[in-house]
A and B are shown apart, each in its own frame.
Chain A
């Protein structure tokens, strides 16, 4: 598989975007950053909607499907005509409206007017429309941010399904770390028009030297396999490279990813024998970084996985925690991501 080259340089007023990197031609590449960091501008450059001012810029020759923040359906066309719009203009399109409509479960909406759709339905139709031209690259610009929590949860499973069923690479822009954790395989972090971090999702997400990935965003994802469901206590046991981990509730066997926030992990030197915390796992400290005047981020290694814990600077000193030390990570809560 060839990588996709992203090389853009553009000046818009005071704002300058400068990106020069390669991303994998498979899976979902998340682009994370605060608003104003240049995420949308980057996508627009890739789509050719912004014209880069330097001649060194490689303009993409791939057929590109663009999913906007708002669905941007054409109000004068029915749902079916909207979905057909791109297909009719790309002779090389191989997908059929019916296949794509089935994937996004919009078959029942095809003959409706776009005005009669809910926000979630409209966004699903717009994803179907982008897919129907058989794109070689799909760009998604915060496709869930205009939706409320309920609508968002209605659309997210379709993005998971898209991730699982299509081989087309997707670039997914979001300022929401949860969406990024759930969907991406690869991560780019943008700040003020510049790439500050890039790489595989787990390695990049667990970097503790970046303010963009600190605070509420600090944490990690681990890929897991399901071991068993305990129906007496309604808990599911997941296995991963660093051991086993319990999560409340009964989960779909397809669940493969958990998210653990840095503030949900505490550390201790010895294994607490009588603790209410279910998940206590042995780990090794591989790095520490001061996050604020009171807090410290600690990067931990468990098997092939990496965790990030937030502890107070005081605790770090009192326990004399150092790189290489063996500790126990006490995980207070786990969020099942997909």
Chain B
């Protein structure tokens, strides 16, 4: 019988991460899309860094930062009495940073391709900036939001290096599916590794295929 716990944990982590990234990534993406200052370029580069950095580098610094003596970790210990590293909460924070570019870039692209004239039309019709954002910019960027959600979910699901560094391998807490597969291979339990891997392959294909189909339909 296949151990489903790592799959569920991965799904939960990916879902929470995608949700947080959509909520926090939206204002960030909007700012990046509307701003052309030098600061914009700096922030843009920082946001994109997780794409190029080895997950171990990211994981290493997150381990220090989130650890009981790190800036965020010590604050968390004071607040909750628990450590952030090797916990689900720590994994969520790490995943959000790791998957940030995959949420921000599609949203930013969607916002950039938005016609400014549509926003101006909304303003001249009495909409406030916030109102125009929600009633015009968001619906017209729906495609970007869907891509951002799907990509950050899928990318979090496939995360390995950062999880290994920050989360370790605690069943039910940090033992996500990629770690579980690694574990099964280490102990030469190939059948279990196959089962989990095939589920991931199928998921990845179905998700990306679905997204491309939706994109194509949107275009026409």
Interface string of B104-144 (1 = CB under 8 A from A): 00000000000101101111111100010001100110100
- Name which residue of chain A comes closest to B139, CB basis: A76
Cα(A133)–Cα(B127), bound, Å? 11
Cα(A66)–Cα(B115), bound, Å? 16
Which residues does chain A contribute within 8 Å of B115, judged by CB atoms? 72
Contact, CB under 8 Å: B121 / A72: yes
A75 at the interface (CB under 8 A from B): yes
A202 at the interface (CB under 8 A from B): no
CB proximity to A under 8 Å, residues B148-190? none
- Name which residue of chain B comes closest to A70, CB basis: B117
Which residues does chain A contribute within 8 Å of B118, judged by CB atoms? 72, 74
Which residues does chain B contribute within 8 Å of A89, judged by CB atoms? 125-127, 131
Q: B117: which of A65, A68, A76, A129 is its contact (CB, 8 Å)?
A: A68
Q: B122: which of A65, A70, A85 is its contact (CB, 8 Å)?
A: A85
Cα(A133)–Cα(B120), bound, Å? 15
Which residues does chain A contribute within 8 Å of B124, judged by CB atoms? 47, 49, 64-66, 86, 130
Cα(A73)–Cα(B52), bound, Å? 41
Cα(A76)–Cα(B142), bound, Å? 10
Which residues does chain B contribute within 8 Å of A76, judged by CB atoms? 139-140, 142
A63 at the interface (CB under 8 A from B): yes
Query: Is chain A's binding surface mostly helix, strand, loop or mixed?
Result: loop
Contact, CB under 8 Å: B126 / A72: no
Cα(A68)–Cα(B123), bound, Å? 13
A322 at the interface (CB under 8 A from B): no
Contact, CB under 8 Å: A49 / B125: no
Which residues does chain B contribute within 8 Å of A49, judged by CB atoms? 120, 123-124
Which residues does chain B contribute within 8 Å of A85, judged by CB atoms? 122, 125, 127, 135
Which residues does chain A contribute within 8 Å of B127, judged by CB atoms? 85, 89
Contact, CB under 8 Å: A72 / B117: yes
Contact A63:B126 (CB < 8 A) given known A72-B115, A74-B136, A76-B139: yes
Which residues does chain A contribute within 8 Å of B135, judged by CB atoms? 85
Contact, CB under 8 Å: A133 / B125: yes
A48 to chain B, nearest CB (A): 8
A90 at the interface (CB under 8 A from B): yes
Cα(A130)–Cα(B120), bound, Å? 12
Excluding A76-B140, A89-B127, A133-B126, 7 further A-B contacts by CB distance (< 8 Å) are: A64-B124, A72-B120, A74-B136, A76-B139, A85-B127, A89-B125, A90-B126
Interface residues, chain B, with chain A CB atoms under 8 Å away: 115, 117-118, 120-127, 131, 135-136, 139-140, 142
Jot down 19 A-B pairs with beta carbons below 8 A, ordered by A.
A48-B123, A63-B126, A66-B124, A68-B120, A72-B118, A72-B121, A74-B122, A74-B136, A74-B140, A75-B140, A76-B139, A76-B140, A76-B142, A85-B127, A85-B135, A89-B125, A89-B127, A89-B131, A129-B125
